[in-house]
Amino acid sequence: MKIAIIGGGISGLTTAFYIKKYRPEAEITLFEKESSLGGKMMTKNIDGFLFEEGSNGFLSNKPDTLELVKESGAEDLLMRSSDNARVRFIYKDALHQLPESPLAFLKTPLLSTLGKLRVAGEIFVPAKKDDYDETLQSFGYRRVGKEMTDAFLDPMVAGIFASSPDKISVNSAFPAVVKLEKEYGGLFKGMLKKKKKDAGPGGVLMSFKGGVSSFIDLLTNSLKIEIKTDVSIENLSKINQKYLLHVEGKTEEFDTVVLSTPAYESKEIVKQIDPQLSEMLDDIEYSPISVVGLGYNELSHKLQGFGLLTTSSAKKDVLGVLWDSSIFTDRAPKNKKALRVMIGGQRSPSLALKSEKELKEIAIKGAKETMGIDELPDVSYVKKWERGIPNYRVGHLEKMDKLFKRLGEHKGLYLSSNAYFGVGLNDCVGNSKKVAKKIVNDMF
Ligand SMILES: Cc1cc2nc3c(=O)[nH]c(=O)nc-3n(C[C@H](O)[C@H](O)[C@H](O)COP(=O)(O)OP(=O)(O)OC[C@H]3O[C@@H](n4cnc5c(N)ncnc54)[C@H](O)[C@@H]3O)c2cc1C
């Protein structure tokens, strides 16, 4: 059984890992466009500062990534975020600590008394009767009110998805919250009942010593497969149940092909064999986001916490600032400090595409305006993602239903990436493991 996996991000690597685990005899070739693997999981070491270009880590409250880490022998690399980083901030009119307890919520200046009463009134809001999808904004306004949505959900969705509440599907991006309303009649009712049922620790942010790239390297080395880097696959054709890949002037034949590429790349690859599938893939939108790493040899700010996210109403050019060296202590050399500033997203897409020089200026200004940092960084690093994170629009799940039905017409062809059923690392790993199981069931 010859299998081609196209794309060497976490989705492609995980798919390869589990196919090999279940079927060691599988002959797998992985093709990656860039010179190194990892995709959105990439660490850059600039003078000892470790800047993540994309993902910082994953939450421990889902088992998927942790299992992969253990099974691939990378457990020694695991690094828990420091306890300091449990404190988070929101910048609205000023910097405010995110309330973590009911008492802190009562005291927070992030909401007016009326806004807080409206949140408490959620318990009386009747559950939505139909299953139609809606935006996070419409869900939030309906259940917890405008103030809470604008002050809490808006920065949160910018931080996780680089999106904004009016542009993202609540059913696709926050299925657990929708389930609370559907199963228990409301969020408070659901949380109270669930707490009684499965009280346990919440998730802790985990990462890897030396940054996420150290895990990618170890995972890659654990794979007994052929890996071809610097190879961009442009299209796919099919003859007699075999898929043909055209690589560097040669044609290679495979029984199974997994596209672990972003949807806008997969769309080009399948165009020849199924123009309709290609159109469906083209319909998946991506948000641009830029990441600016700032390294300071000396910084007076203590960075006691995880970092901050801004609200849209704050009208700042930055979506947030992550206090990286406080979250994971090895992200800056001893006694030095590192920040990462997020710019763009659906809130201000054009800002993400500014020049590197302008992005650095925006980041420095953002750190000054939100945190009062006057010092200039000694080191900086800019990573621009023109199409960084898939933005699941309203109706995304229905579209995916149709897309995967269509895909089912092509025996041996699979899709496995963050474009479909979740963008977090846990989702990518969990969904790729499912794809690997499906391949083993279908094809062996
Ligand atoms: C700025 C940022 C911050 C993030 N932070 C977090 C976080 O803290 N926690 C978290 O859980 N998630 C985070 N994410 C999301 C998470 O990192 C991604 O969803 C995940 O890494 C995507 O993995 P993937 O393998 O599906 O796709 P990708 O990482 O995009 O991998 C796709 C691969 O395919 C390759 N490729 C593309 N076209 C071709 C072609 N034609 N031929 C061959 N190869 C091709 C690409 O080069 C790439 O290596 C973040 C994302 C971004 C952008």
Each residue's pLDDT tens digit, 94-119: 999 999 898 999 999 999 999 999 99
Domain 101-197: which CATH class?
mainly alpha
Distance CA 178, CA 133 (A): 10
| DSSP structural state of residue 360 | H
- Sort strands 58-59 and 205-208 into parallel, antiparallel or unpaired: antiparallel
- CA dist 230 and 392 (Å) reads 30
Q: Could you give the CA distance from residue 271 to residue 264 in angstroms, rounded to a whole number?
A: 11
The alpha carbon of 10 and the centre of ligand 1 are apart by a number of angstroms equal to 7
- Give me ligand 1 centre to Cα 138, in Å: 29
* Mutation pick for ligand 1 pocket among 259, 261, 382, 384 (CB with most ligand atoms within 8 Å): 261
For residue 420, report the distance from its CA to the centre of ligand 1, in Å: 13
pLDDT of 191: 87
Q: Just give the CATH number of 2-35+216-273+410-443.
A: 3.50.50.60
Q: How far is it, in rounded angstroms, from Cα 33 to Cα 230? A: 5
pLDDT for 199: 42
Q: How far is CA 298 from CA 33, 44, 190, 291, in A?
A: 39, 21, 47, 21
Token pair of 332 as six digits: 């800056």
Please identify, by atom number, the ligand 1 atom nearest to the C-alpha of residue 38. Answer: 49
User: Tell me, what's the pLDDT at 197?
Assistant: 58
Residues of the chain with pLDDT under 50: 199-201
At residue 201, the pLDDT reads 46
Q: Identify the residues whose C-beta falls under 6 Å from ligand 1.
A: 6-12, 31-34, 39-41, 54-58, 232-233, 260-262, 265, 289, 291, 385, 388-389, 417-418, 423-425, 428
Q: Which pLDDT score is estimated for 229?
A: 97
- Which residues, including other chains, have CB under 8 Å from residue 174's CB and lie 6 or more apart? 136, 139
Q: pLDDT at position 240, please?
A: 87
- Per-residue pLDDT, 196: 58
Shortest-distance atom of ligand 1 to CA 34: 47
The CB-side HSE value for 415 (13 A sphere, CA atoms) comes to 26
* Strands, E assignment, 213-357: 226-228, 236-239, 242-247, 250-254, 256-259, 285-296, 307-310, 320-322, 337-344
pLDDT at 249: 84
Measured CA distances, 368 to 2, 339, 374 (Å): 55, 12, 6
Look at residue 200 in the predicted model and tell me its pLDDT: 45
Any idea where the domains of the chain sit in the sequence? Answer: 2-35+216-273+410-443, 101-197
> Residue 193's pLDDT is what?
85
State whether the Cα torsion 264-266-270-276 is positive or negative.
negative
Q: Please tell me the distance from the alpha carbon of residue 349 to that of residue 164, in angstroms, as a whole number.
A: 11
> What radius of gyration do the chain's Cα atoms show?
22
Apex 40 CA angle, 327 and 402, nearest 5: 120
If 0-12 CB within 10 Å is exposed, 13-18 middle and 19+ buried, where does residue 325 land? Answer: buried
In eight-state DSSP terms, residue 56 is -
| Ligand 1: centre distance to CA 85 (Å) | 25
